[in-house]
Amino acid sequence: MATTVEQTTAPAHADEPIVPLRHPGRWVAAVVLAVLVAMFVSFLLTTPQLRLDLVVGYLFERSVLRGLLTTIELTVVAMLVGVALGTVLAIMRLSDNPLLRIVAATYVAVFRGTPILVQLLFWFFLGTVLPNISLGVPFGPELFSVSTNTVISQFAAAILGLGLNEAAYMAEIVRAGIGSVDRGQVEAAHALGMGPALTYRRVILPQAARVIVPPTANEVISMLKLTSLALVIGLPELTTTVQLIYGRNFQQIPLLIVASIWYLVLTTVLTVIQARIERRMSRGVLSSPVRRTRFSFGGR
């Protein structure tokens, strides 16, 4: 039976049903994906060398959990240092005082311009060139002195390396956020009698936060993984801990899977938190309805 194609409108056809566009490509993709998943599952189940029993056994092992805790501590403290110092650097960078601007710009240049691995080692080995940290008049008498190696522990070196490096990146993020706030907002705040500090606290930073938070959440996730670099200074965080274990039992892959699972768990939690904060911060902006990802095959 031949169908006739009619392109003209006619009152008689006005009530004809509409057939939605079909998506055959999705079916093809689904089949390909199903085959790949099946291959992966069969690899997992039929490869005894993977030692999934060891993965399960070490996942909640005490030293692994201790390493995990250290990783979380490192992430939190380094980010706090980074955000606080980064905000100060951003405000310095935007200051009217040319000296402050130069200091902030130099800081960012130095800490962004050298590898973080080098910075970590630098702080760790600082004691070799500077045995004592002392406070006093330059070229004059010392008022206070302490041995560098007692102040800069592994943890402190890691915080310095990760936090000071992070501050340089956060400074740029905060600066972009502050720059995104309309100039008229500052004028309105000033016209209401707000001083510079109050204007920053009540008007600029809350609005800049909307621009600052999403990249900062990315920085947190990135920091979580960067803490694994503390391996080079022997700080027993998650990666160092599993390395110590597979150094003894030679089960590298099962233990690296253990570490990966924990990193994935943490980044997933952080991603959920990030989405929540962003939703809260969009107050006052006519929000586009949250788009939920739906997966449907063509037609029904």
CB-wise, 283 or 300, nearer to other proteins? 283
Window 133-172: contact mask with other proteins (x via CB under 8 A): ----------------------------------------
Smallest distance, Å, CB 209 to other proteins? 9
Distance CA 8, CA 30 (A): 38
CB of 98 to other proteins, least distance (A): 17
* Residue 207 found at the interface with other proteins (CB under 8 A): yes
Residue with tokens 């500090």: 197
With CB under 8 A as the contact rule, the residue among 12, 129, 286, 290 that binds other proteins is 286
Q: What would the two tokens of residue 140 be? A: 């004059």
Task: Give 287 or 296: the residue with its C-beta nearer to other proteins.
Answer: 287
Site for other proteins in 12-41 (CB under 8 A): none
Does 97 interact with other proteins (rule: CB under 8 A)?
no
Rounded to an integer, what distance in angstroms lies between the CA atom of residue 86 and that of residue 163? Answer: 10
Q: Which is nearer to other proteins, 185 or 249 (CB)?
A: 185
Site for other proteins in 264-283 (CB under 8 A): 283
Q: Shortest CA distance to 79 belongs to which of 216, 211, 205? A: 216
Extract the tokens encoding 125. Answer: 């080995």
Q: Is 300 in the site for other proteins (CB under 8 A)?
A: no
Smaller CB separation from other proteins, 135 or 285: 285
User: How many Cβ atoms from other residues are within 10 Å of residue 273's Cβ?
Assistant: 12
Radius of gyration of the chain (CA): 28
One residue of 65, 190, 217, 277 binding other proteins per CB under 8 A:
190
Q: Interface with other proteins includes 284 (CB under 8 A)?
A: yes
Backbone phi and psi for residue 299, each to the nearest 5 degrees, phi listed first: 65, -165
Q: Which stretch binds other proteins (CB under 8 A): 32-40, 84-92, 170-178, 181-189?
A: 181-189
Separation of alpha carbons 219 and 117, rounded Å:
17
Which neighbouring-strand residues pair with 222?
none
Angle separating helix axes 154-179 and 62-93, nearest 10 degrees? 40
Cα torsion through 62, 67, 69, 74, rounded to 10: 170
Rounded Cα distance between 40 and 46, Å, is 10
Q: Does 92 bind other proteins (CB under 8 A)?
A: no
With beta carbons less than 8 A apart as the criterion, state whether 251 and 242 touch: no
CB of 185 vs other proteins, minimal distance in Å: 6
Give the side-chain half-sphere CA count within 13 A for 197.
Answer: 0
Cross-strand partners of 133: 146
For other proteins, the closer CB: 10 or 286: 286
| Comparison of 16 and 182: residue with beta carbon closer to other proteins | 182
By CB under 8 A, is residue 194 in contact with other proteins?
yes
Region near other proteins per CB under 8 A, out of 32-40, 106-114, 187-195, 244-252: 187-195
Question: Under the rule (CB under 8 A), what is the footprint of other proteins?
Answer: 182, 184-185, 187-196, 198, 202-203, 206-207, 210, 283-286
